[in-house]
Each structure stands twice: as structure tokens, then as C-alpha cells.
Structure 1
Amino acid sequence: MQMKVLCDETMTLDPPRRTLLMLLTALGLTQATQTPPEQPQEDGQLPLILGPVLALLVLVALGALGLWHVRRRQEKQRGLNSELGESSLILKASEQGDSMLGDLLDSDCTTGSGSGLPFLVQRTVARQVALVECVGKGRYGEVWRGLWHGESVAVKIFSSRDEQSWFRETEIYNTVLLRHDNILGFIASDMTSRNSSTQLWLITHYHEHGSLYDFLQRQTLEPQLALRLAVSAACGLAHLHVEIFGTQGKPAIAHRDLKSRNVLVKSNLQCCIADLGLAVMHSQGSDYLDIGNNPRVGTKRYMAPEVLEEQIRTDCFESYKWTDIWAFGLVLWEIARRTIVNGIVEDYRPPFYDVVPNDPSFEDMKKVVCVDQQTPTIPNRLAADPVLSGLAQMMRECWYPNPSARLTALRIKKTLQKLSNGLQKPKVIH
């Protein structure tokens, strides 16, 4: 009886709808016995509408998935092309004979993070540097002047026992915003094989005047030049110490080995701070103090009393900044001794030259700084110059025994800038 009713109903439909209805009935998607005789067309239209809609949704989903895969592949390809393009751009620029390294590092063709060139380009540059002459040696290794497509660069080659310092400097330069006129410009870092041995290279801008230590031994200074050196060094230290917030920000950094040998003199007679192998970083957001993994200590001659007494709070970032300020006061003292006042100037000497040996021990420095509580003698002639008398007062405020009472780098920078206002363009006196 049911089959007869079904046949009667389907016979009233046009052939395509009749075929579809019979197929759906056979699949159990509709119940012919429950369909009122007066609405056969409406029930037949429901699956007819749902079928194409479902098919369309499936097609849209597949299309979206395919588009996502295509875009992801394109992004990866663009990233690779970008790095290769940067390398090509550098090579092309060098062929034109222009001094392009500084421009490239400051332009939009780098990563934009202020951390130097991308790793692929760093390796390309490192493998094309030719070493020319050794310009310095120390406990860390050697510094060479190198040539890269006709342009001078500095190559710091670390000894194998100081691998942690190389790793630390590479880590800091590649992860934080350090592009600043008064911080040594980083170009590349690489582990390279030369003469059947592995060498750890750090490639930076080259400054022919060398370190402030070397410069002060060769030159005497007019007060204007003395302040130019001091202000620029203070600007570099203030940039290190400050935390910059934002996606392109930087953590606060304490140097921990500040001294005249780690301050370089640029061709424009401004200073830039170098050697971040002992630096510590701190971010207020996470309150994480990153002290690295370097067992090396700073330079004994420049150690603050709390370091010599081993009472520094190693869990407090401010403590490390205070030790930088102590050392910076000693650098100011070195500058002041070589500054001419009323035709009088002294030979270069390192801090505490008159009370400790050339290579003082930890105990030598502890006795002078902590037990005897001595600070370097400030030349009386500085009091005759209103600007240099301000410099002398600043040194004393950097050497307070109580670390928290010392000046901040920002206060030093602002005070020095105020002292230098209105001064004439500096000149070197031979």
C-alpha cells in the first residue's frame, strides 16, 4: 500500500524531481509515508537546497586551507629573499667604493631592531674580511684592523679560554637595541676556521684613534675637547643604563668593566663605549636579571669598594649600575689630568698609579680603596677653571662610599652637557 502511495505521488512530479525523490527515499533521507499528499514539492526542494549549500561550504573550507598554505610558503620565500637581497645590496654597495657599512646598519635594509645585520649577512661579511694589522692585544685576545671590500673594520679575535665573553657580546648585540652614536657599532659575529683552528670573531666599526687610554697618552686637551670626550662617553653610558620600553625596546644594561681601554675615540673626537663581554641585563617587566655565564671579573684598578669587599648585592641590578658610576669617575679623572689649565698639564697616568703597582692584585686595591679609603688626587689647578671645577665635583660624587648616593648616568650626562654649553669647537693640542 505504501509503495502504491509513493508511486502515485512521484508520478505527479516532473522527471528530474521524481528521480531525486525516489533516490532520497531509498537512502532513508525522507519518509514518503509521512508526506502529506498536498505538499510533495516542498519536501522535495529541501534536500535539493541543502545539497549545493553543503558542497559550497566544503569547497570554501578547502579553498581557505589551500590559500593558507600558499601564503605561508610565500612568506618563507620572502624572508629568504630578503636576507639574500641584503647580502647582495651590501656587496653591490662595496663595489661602488662607498663607505656603506654604517649606512646599512642604520637603514631600513637591516632587521630594524638595531642589532646589526641578519645572521646570514653576518657570515657573508665575516668570510670576506682580510686581516691587515694587529692593533691591540689583551687578556681576551687580539684586535686587528681588517679590510672588507676596501673599507676598514675592527676584528676582535677572542682567545679560546674567553669564549664566554665572545658569546655574551654576540648575544647582547644581536638581541637588544644598541644602535647609538656612543656605543661601538656592531657589524657581525662569526665562528670561523683560519689556519686549521677555530677563531671567535667580533667585527665592529674601526676607529683609528684607538682607545681613550691610547688617545690620552698621545694628546693633551683643551677644556672644550675634554668636555666633548666626557659628554659623549656619558651619553653612551646613559644609553646602556636606561631601559627602553616597546616592541623595539631594550633592557637596561650595566657594563661591569668600564675603563679608558674600553672607551674608543671616534674620528669626530667623540667617545663610544666598547666591550660588553661582562654586561648584565635587566627588564622591569619580567624583573629578570640576566648576568650571563661568564666567570671573568672586571678590571681590579677600576673596581668599586663594594666589589673589592665582596659585599655587592648580586641580585640587585642597581648595584651593577653603581659600580659603573665609580669606574666612570675614574675615567673622568684620567681625562682631567690631560686637560690644559693656565698652560699646565700632567702626563697620563692610570688611576691610583701612585699607590699600587702596575698590575695591582685584588688585595692591593682592597687595601687602598676599602681600608685606607683613598680616591685619586684631583689636581688643584682644576679649581681655577669654572668648567673643570664642576668636573672635579662630579668625580667626587661618583666616588661616594655609599653606592646609592652616587650620581646616576643620566644626571652625569645632563650636568656635563650643561657645562659644555657655549664652548667653542674643540681642537687637539700636540
Structure 2
Amino acid sequence: MEPRRVILFVFLFICRIFITLQSKEHVLLDMRASGSELGWLTSPNEEGWEIVQSVVNGSLFYTYSVCYIDSPEQDNWLRTTYIQGPPGTSRFSVELQFIVRDCNTFDGASVACKETFNLFISEADADVGTSFRKGQFRKVATIAPDEVTRGKGVKINKETRTVGLLSKKGFYLAFQDMGACVALLSVRVYYKTCPSTVQSLAAFPETVADALKVVEGSCVNNAVSQATPRIYCTSEGDWVVPVGQCQCLPGYEAKENSCQECKQGYFKPSESNELCQVCPDNTKPSSAGATECLCEDGFFRSPSDPPTSPCSARPSAPLDLASTTLSGEGRLMLSWSPPLVTGGRSDLTYSVACEICDEDSCVPCDEKIHFETGPADLQDTTVVISGLDSHLNYTFTVESRSGVSEGNAEGAAATITTALDYTTPPKVTSIHLDDRGPTSLSLSWTLSRRPPAHINHRYELMYRKKDVDSESDVTTYTVLILEKNSVQINELTPDTAYMFRVQVLSPEGMPGSFSAEHEFQTSLLAESQTQNKPTVVMGAVVGVAVILLVVVAFLLLRRRRLCSRGRGGPEDPFSTDQIKPLKAYVDPHMYEDPNIAIQKFVKEIDPSAVSKQKVIGVGEFGEVFRGVMKTPGKGEVTVAIKTLKPGYSEKQRQDFLSEASIMGQFSHPNIIRLEGVVTKFKHAMIVTEYMENGALDTYLKDHDGEISSYQLLGMLRGIAAGMKYLSDMSYVHRDLAARNVLVNSNLECKVSDFGLSRVLEDDAEGTYTTRGGKIPIRWTAPEAIAYRKFTSASDVWSFGIVMWEVMAFGERPYWDMSNHEVMKAINEGFRLPAPMDCPSAIYQLMLQCWQHDRSKRPRFSDIVNILDKLLQSPESLKTIADFDPRVSIRLPSTSGCDNTMFRSVSEWLESIKMNQYNESFARAGITTMEQVLALRPEDIRNIGVRLPGHMKRIAYSILGLKDETSSLSVFAV
């Protein structure tokens, strides 16, 4: 082992790089700071871990190291001294700095050489001294290096793990070596706090960092908030996501995390975090802490103006008011120029008032006067007015207005008196044919403008026959003088064209201009006798058209119904939902040479395209890594990499790759996707897509009570869809359980774990034995246990157990019952009870999956349809299934074994696995079971129980205690 000694001293050479940093960390244990006073226990004492001392820059450094790689079956332990738990929290961090030697650098090294070691924890309320039992420790993590050391190039690894939840006052850490060459340079155990701070004008106290928690604060002086300010303290000791910002009161501004009074000449009108502003123009100087600045005399603000706007003067009168008579009936245009003084405002408008004046008085114009753009709120400097009478005097007043005119007297105005001046009569613009007969024509006409009511115009109508002989030199007209603008002309010739024109005569007889000639023709004699025939024919045509439309509509509706049936309606036995895929699963073991199955179904990946990064688990054949894979066009993609440990046999290699031969045949969004395999390399690898949230059962335990029933139902629907796909391909999974379902960052669930052969063993526990260890029968259908009848129906039974696991947030099915008790209970008709808050519809589906007769269980296609309907009707999840806390918490009764109440609160909490709240109950003064029975839900929250799942478990247990107490009382009577 002399080379090992040299290696360890080389490792110590780099210890000079460690520098203690001041941070928000509260250190519970620091290996380097303890120096030679570590006092850690080793097992075995003679060999295994040993402490090494080195001098670097005049300072002593102590490290623990182990490097027994030549002897198989190593089990070397190193235990720390007793560590007092963090106050007020149950989580802490363990920071390790270590060096691991590459196994390949040892000549002739055994295949048993490892490159990982394990971290364990044991909780205790007091120091147990040198008493050391491995069974008291539980595993926290497998520690793997990011970089291993080869040759003289030393690679230091740093790993930090968060540990919790603690239920006792303190704990021990232990490190297990199983055959690696490791130097443990530093071990730091610490917890973090979020320091006291002032953010967004809210003060928050120092808070111990645990899981993400919300902390309430209070506003600083002269600041308010509509809601209590809150901020989140992360497990890293950082403040994030402040909620409910405080704002300074009016007259105060935010400076240096405080609200300070505005200076003289400044103001702030509202609650905000803006700075104070200088008083605007035309205002009086303000005093300190002012909320507004008052206007100077003669200046005003509009009611809609904010206090930050300057004050303004009223506008002066418009300039250059003039009128222009327009063509058409009684139309006049007024125009003017903007006023000289606008008051510095941009909301200048104008209003126009109309009056009719004589020598004695003026009266408002009547309603027939029309302003084409309205008489008020005019922004243009012109307006057109119509409906005026000629020879009348009109007085128009145009007023300038702005936002400060209201309530501050009238605006300045300009006035003009004008009248229409019509020197010529209006012109006839068109002539209309109102009716005609064989010997008569009825005509009317329109004028270019309506004449005033007091002026009576006459009309001169001239008409003639249309000249047939255009060479005639004489044109004969008939002239009529009329008092109104319509006429009926009789004694005309049938079927003859006549030409008409009209002019207007003024009251003085002055003629206007003639209209253009219009042509009209009298009718035939027979036309009047048959004039009703078109109406009759039209009626008949419309009737026939209506009948045809009704017939066509009927035929189209009938054809649509026939087409919908042809596409596969509910009664169609060949609907698309029941068509199975043409592709079927092929068992790779049917091939004489397993390598053929691998080549047929699996994609080979270039080893250089795959890079391992971090150990995330341990599989049956070796370690599982998170890594990256380079793909053309996509760059680097995060993947999971299953490895085959060194020293494998060819049989183990074929069994390892058989799972890839199975996965390579599947392609479904709810089945774990195989990226490919690496076989042309001494270390075979299976590469799959990476699922960020890991196994479903672990994810649910970590998020107990944080996911709604609707979200859980969506996750179950994904699992059912994946199993329907496998069933349609005639593949039986045989080991469907929440531990074999993976969850990605979008909470999508994907079925995994394929290809492990299972052989029924006749042992006392009734388990299946595989090459990877024993699998409990809690998920297995009765016929599969008794007769090895594995079918899709047995997978449906397992899916029912998965449903129970999901709704119970990863709780173990059948709790602490033995496998023999589980088999006996199932055969006697016992079924798992509904989990807490489980919707009744979901529990009824579970019971259907657990039918003893497998032919009565639903198919996976039926399960997918049922879950889809529940997702489409969220209100169906409101009805909750009956819940018995005494069964679901797996207690023989809620009282003690001798039919008496629990002797202490801690004993009761231990029985429902909530002993982490022992101190919380003690601090609240809850020390007897009588006090526990009196607790209400709000009391449980006040004690310090915050997680919804924990609150429900404790509340339901208290309910069970009350029921049990009542039963015992009746029995005693």
C-alpha cells in the first residue's frame, strides 16, 4: 500500500486553497476548523478510514482517507461526533470536499474497485457516545465525483447535499466506503438564514432558511401598503419575489429605504415611490411636506388636470370672425382665427350660438337650423350651418373655451350678424316620372335648394314630342305655368316619347335657368289590361323556388347524417378508438442471437457523442448518470445514461441490453423514449431521455398536499395512455408501479422499467425474484400471484394500485402489512380504502380495476375514456369518497394496544408518523391527549403545522381519536 500513502500526501498538497468565507451560513460542524480534535469513530478500528496529518504553509491539516481496493467486500465506516440540530428548522446542508482516485490507474486492480462512497445519517435526541450500530443509519445519497484523479493531476470534487426533515434534536453523519480510494478533505454542516433586510420600503426580520417559505414584513415609517408585504426566503438564504410593495404617503418621498418629507417648493400628491416634484408654473411656493401647489391668482386648473400640471389662464376671444354663403339650400359657413391668448393649453375648443334678431329683441334659432359638425366642442375654426331662411338676419356668437373655463365665468366670444342673399331662383336638378298611362304622364321635380317659407316660387314647364324627323327646322313646345313642383299632363298620344324641361320663376317673375331635358314615354293601350300579369307570374315563380329550396335542404340533411354514420359514430363497431395498431411487440428473447434484436430495434450511438456528468442513481447492472448527448441540428441534449459495471459477464451484458431491445420498439409520449445504445465500447450504455423530477413516488412524497386533484388526474391520464399503447401492442408490463413511472419538468408521466424477467417463488413472503432483487407483490393481481397469469388485465390491477399511490401522495400500499398479510387480505375481499380527499369518481375507478374476476376489469382504452370525461368535467371531482383515518393511517385502532388512549402526545404523533412536530406541540402547551382532542383545524395551523398534507393527517387522526373515545365510553357504560 506504499503507493496509496504517496497518493494521499499528494492530495493534501492542495489543501492550501481552502479559504473560509464569511456568509449567511451558520456552521454546525467544520472538519477543518476542528483540527486534531475530531474524535470521529471508525469501523472497523484496525483498518478502513484513517486520519492523516499534513503541514501546509505552517498549518496542520487533518483528513480522513481510505484506499483498500485489493480486498473485496469492503465495508468501512466513519462516523462524526454528535451534531446539534439547527434551531427552528429541520433542514441543513452537508458540504463535502474530497478526492477519488481513478480505478483504471491501479495496475491489476480488482474489478471490485469503486469510485463512489455513501453518505448516511442517524437522528438522536442526545449524544450516544461511542455506541455505534449501522442499522440506526439511513442512507442519504451516493457520492460520486465529477472528476477522478489520474496520475499527478489532483482533482478536487465539491458536493453539497440538503438533508431533512429532522424529527429529533440532533444527528450523526457517517461515510461508508465499499472499495474506493477516497480522501475526505473537508466536511461542513451548516444551515443558512436570510438576513434582516429592508426591501421596497418593507422591513423583514432575519429568518432561518428552510424549504421556500413566505415571511411577512412591515412598512417603514410614513409608508403604507394595501396588503401585508411579503417576501420568500429560499433554502439558500436568499430573499426572492417580494410581494405587496409599500409606498410613501403623500408629501413624502422614498430615499435610502425610508420615506422623507418633501422640501419647501416641492410636493407629492399621492401614495407612490416617486420623488417629490418642483411646483409647476403659475403656482404659489409650497411648504415642507406639501401634497399640492395652489394656483396663483388669475390662473386655474381643470377638474381633470392632475396636481402635477401647471395652472392656466382662460383663453381670449376668437379673431377675424366672418361668414360665407354656400351653394345649396340655405347654407352658410362661419370661419375665424384662434385667439391671441390660449392660456398655454392644448384643449382649446369653440362653441357657436345662433339667434334671430330684429330691431327690438333676439330669439334663439329654431331646431331646423343644423350645424354639420355640431354647435359645441369644435376643434376646427370653421363650421357649416344649413337650414337658414333667406332675408332673415342671424346673429352668431363664437366662444373660445378650454379646460379651465368651467366654473370660472364664461369664455371670451366674438359675434357676427349676417343674412343669406339669394339673387337668383334655385335650379331644377332632376325630373321624376311618378305615373303614366296611354294618354297621361305624372311628373315631379327637385330643386337645388329649398326656398324660404315666405317666398312663393312658380315653375315654367315646357314639353314636346320627341322629333322623329331630325331634319325639321321648327320645334313646337307646350308651356305650362305651375304653382307647385308637380303636374299631371293629359291628352297625350299613346306609346309616344315626350321631352320635358323646367325652370323656376322668382316672385318678381325673373326666370332661373332651365333644367336638362328628360325623356318620358306614354304606355300602350293593351298594357293597362295586362299590367297585373307580371305580378301573377312572379308569385308563381317565387312559390316554385321555395318548394325547391325545401327539397334540397332535406336531401342535404339526409346525406350529412349518412356520411356521419359512415365515418364511425357511437354505434359504429369500427370506430377509430377501437382500431388497434398494426405494429405488435416482438420479444427479443425469441431471437437465437440477441445481438440481432439489438441491431433491428435500437440505434447505435457514437461513444464520443455521449458524456456523463453526475451519478443520479444505482441500477441493477450499474450506476445511472445524468449526461449530455450531442445530436445533429439540436446541439447538446440532456439524457439519462445507464451503465454496465466493470467485470460483467456476457450473459449480464445481453440481459442489460435486452431492455433496450424492448424500449426501441415503443414510440409514445407517455413511454420513456430510448435515444440509443453504446455497444461498440468496452462499457456498454443505454441512453434515454432525461426526466427532471425522477420517480413518481418520490416526487409525490416531496410535494405532499401541493398538487390539486385535477393535476393528479392529468398525471394518471398520461400513465393510462402509455399503458393503453403497450396493451394495443400486446405487451404486458408486469411491474407497473409509481416507482417505475418517471416525471419530467412539465409533470408529464412516462412508463419505464422494461425487460426484467420475473420468476414466481414459493416463499413465505410471496414475492417475485429477479436478477435485481425481490419485488413486493403489493402491485400484482391475484391470478398473477397464484397462476403466473400475466395479461393486460393484471396490468390494469397494477394501474389501480398506482392510482391509489398517486392520490395518497406516494404512500406505501397496504402500509406496514407484511406481504403474506396482503395476499390473505386480498383473497378475503379486502381492498385499499380511499385516500384522504380522493374524489369519489376516481376511487370508484380504482375498485373497478381491483375486480377479482379479471374479465370484469376495464380495459386501458376504457380507463383513458373515463379519465378524459372527468378532466372535461372538473365539477365531477368535487364529491369526495368516504375516508376512515383509522384504516388509512394503518393503525390497529386510534387508541393504544390495551384499548386505552395513547399515554402521551409524542406516542400518538409517532403512531401517525408526525413525530417531527413533537417540539411544536410542546411549545404550544399541548402535553396531554385531552388537549389534543380539543384541537380545532385553526389550532393545528397556529401550532406550526403548515403543509396541507400534514394538517389533514393530524386532523383526521384527531377525528378518529374522538370516534374511538366515544366507542370506548359506550362500551364502558
Q: Is the 1:114–1:179 Cα contact (8 Å) retained in structure 2?
A: no
Deviation at 1:375, TM superposition (A): 2.5
Return the match for 2:852 from 368, 379, 401: 401
Deviation at 1:368, TM superposition (A): 3.9
Deviation at 1:364, TM superposition (A): 5.3
**1:166 equivalenced with 2:656 (yes/no):** yes
Name stretches of at least 5 consecutive residues in structure 2 with no aligned partner.
1-583, 587-597, 631-635, 759-769, 876-947, 950-973
Return the match for 2:783 from 306, 309, 319: 306
Return the match for 2:623 from 130, 142, 153: 142
**1:157 match:** 643
**1:68 match:** none
**2:672 match:** 184
Q: Is the 2:671–2:722 Cα contact (8 Å) retained in structure 1?
A: yes
Aligned to 1:377, the other structure's residue is in SS state coil
Q: Give 1:81-230 correspondences, 5 Å limit.
A: 122-149=603-630, 150-158=636-644, 160=648, 163=653, 165-174=655-664, 176=665, 178-191=666-679, 193=681, 198-219=682-703, 220-230=706-716
Q: Is the 1:211–1:264 Cα contact (8 Å) retained in structure 2?
A: yes
**2:802 match:** 331
Q: CA deviation digits over 1:373-418, x for unaligned, max 9?
A: 4332213643xxxxx2111001001111112211111111110011
**1:259 equivalenced with 2:737 (yes/no):** yes
Return the match for 2:813 from 344, 351, 360: 351
Return the match for 1:412 from 858, 863, 869: 863
Return the match for 2:832 from 356, 376, 397: 376
Q: In 2, Cα distance between the equivalents of 1:255 and 1:299?
A: 15
**2:504 match:** none
Q: CA deviation digits over 1:312-353, x for unaligned, max 9?
A: 34xxxxx42111111111110011123xxxxxxxxx412112
Q: Which has the larger radius of gyration?
A: 2
Deviation at 1:365, TM superposition (A): 4.3
Return the match for 1:366 from 806, 814, 823: 823
Q: CA deviation digits over 1:108-134, x for unaligned, max 9?
A: xxxxx999x988994434443121112
Q: CA deviation digits over 1:189-220, x for unaligned, max 9?
A: 23365xxxx54421100011111112101113
Aligned to 2:815, the other structure's residue is in SS state coil
**2:791 match:** 320
Q: Is the 1:125–1:188 Cα contact (8 Å) retained in structure 2?
A: no
Q: Is the 1:308–1:365 Cα contact (8 Å) retained in structure 2?
A: no
Q: In 1, Cα distance between the equivalents of 2:623 and 2:825?
A: 31
Q: In 1, Cα distance between the equivalents of 2:621 and 2:747?
A: 26
**Amino acid of the residue matched to residue 128 of structure 1?**
A
Q: In 2, Cα distance between the equivalents of 1:354 and 1:154?
A: 33
Q: In 2, Cα distance between the equivalents of 1:369 and 1:126?
A: 49
Aligned to 1:256, the other structure's residue is in SS state coil
- Cα distance change, pair 222–375 in 1 and its aligned pair in 2 (3 A): same
**1:76 match:** none
Q: In 2, Cα distance between the equivalents of 1:241 and 1:423?
A: 28
Q: In 1, Cα distance between the equivalents of 2:824 and 2:782?
A: 10
Aligned to 2:719, the other structure's residue is in SS state helix
- Cα distance change, pair 218–423 in 1 and its aligned pair in 2 (3 A): same
**1:95 match:** none
Q: Give 1:267-282 correspondences, 5 Å limit.
A: 267-278=745-756
Q: In 2, Cα distance between the equivalents of 1:389 and 1:199?
A: 50
The root-mean-square deviation of aligned C-alpha atoms, in Å, is 3.4
- Cα distance change, pair 266–376 in 1 and its aligned pair in 2 (3 A): same
Aligned to 1:221, the other structure's residue is in SS state coil
Q: Give 1:68-79 correspondences, 5 Å limit.
A: none
Q: Is the 1:188–1:204 Cα contact (8 Å) retained in structure 2?
A: yes
Greater per-residue helix proportion: 1
**1:103 match:** none
Deviation at 1:298, TM superposition (A): 5.6
Q: Percent same amino acid at aligned positions?
A: 27
Greater per-residue strand proportion: 2
**Amino acid of the residue matched to residue 143 of structure 1?**
V
Q: Is the 2:602–2:660 Cα contact (8 Å) retained in structure 1?
A: no
Aligned to 1:254, the other structure's residue is in SS state coil
Name stretches of at least 5 consecutive residues in structure 1 with no aligned partner.
1-112, 244-251, 281-293, 314-318, 339-347, 383-387
- Cα distance change, pair 408–158 in 1 and its aligned pair in 2 (3 A): farther
Q: Is the 1:303–1:327 Cα contact (8 Å) retained in structure 2?
A: yes
Larger relative contact order (C-alpha < 8 A, sep ≥ 6)?
A: 1
Q: Is the 2:697–2:806 Cα contact (8 Å) retained in structure 1?
A: no
Aligned to 2:671, the other structure's residue is in SS state coil
Q: Is the 1:232–1:270 Cα contact (8 Å) retained in structure 2?
A: yes
**Amino acid of the residue matched to residue 864 of structure 2?**
K
Q: In 2, Cα distance between the equivalents of 1:327 and 1:369?
A: 13
Q: In 2, Cα distance between the equivalents of 1:307 and 1:158?
A: 31
- Corresponding residue pairs, total: 261
**Amino acid of the residue matched to residue 391 of structure 1?**
I
- Cα distance change, pair 353–419 in 1 and its aligned pair in 2 (3 A): same
**1:237 equivalenced with 2:723 (yes/no):** yes
Aligned to 1:255, the other structure's residue is in SS state coil
**Amino acid of the residue matched to residue 611 of structure 2?**
A
Q: In 2, Cα distance between the equivalents of 1:121 and 1:368?
A: 43
Q: Is the 2:613–2:628 Cα contact (8 Å) retained in structure 1?
A: yes
- Cα distance change, pair 307–140 in 1 and its aligned pair in 2 (3 A): farther
Q: Is the 1:255–1:278 Cα contact (8 Å) retained in structure 2?
A: no
Q: Is the 2:585–2:731 Cα contact (8 Å) retained in structure 1?
A: no
Q: Is the 1:326–1:399 Cα contact (8 Å) retained in structure 2?
A: yes
Aligned to 2:862, the other structure's residue is in SS state helix
Q: In 2, Cα distance between the equivalents of 1:143 and 1:133?
A: 8
Q: In 1, Cα distance between the equivalents of 2:859 and 2:602?
A: 38
Q: Is the 1:256–1:279 Cα contact (8 Å) retained in structure 2?
A: no
- Cα distance change, pair 268–323 in 1 and its aligned pair in 2 (3 A): same
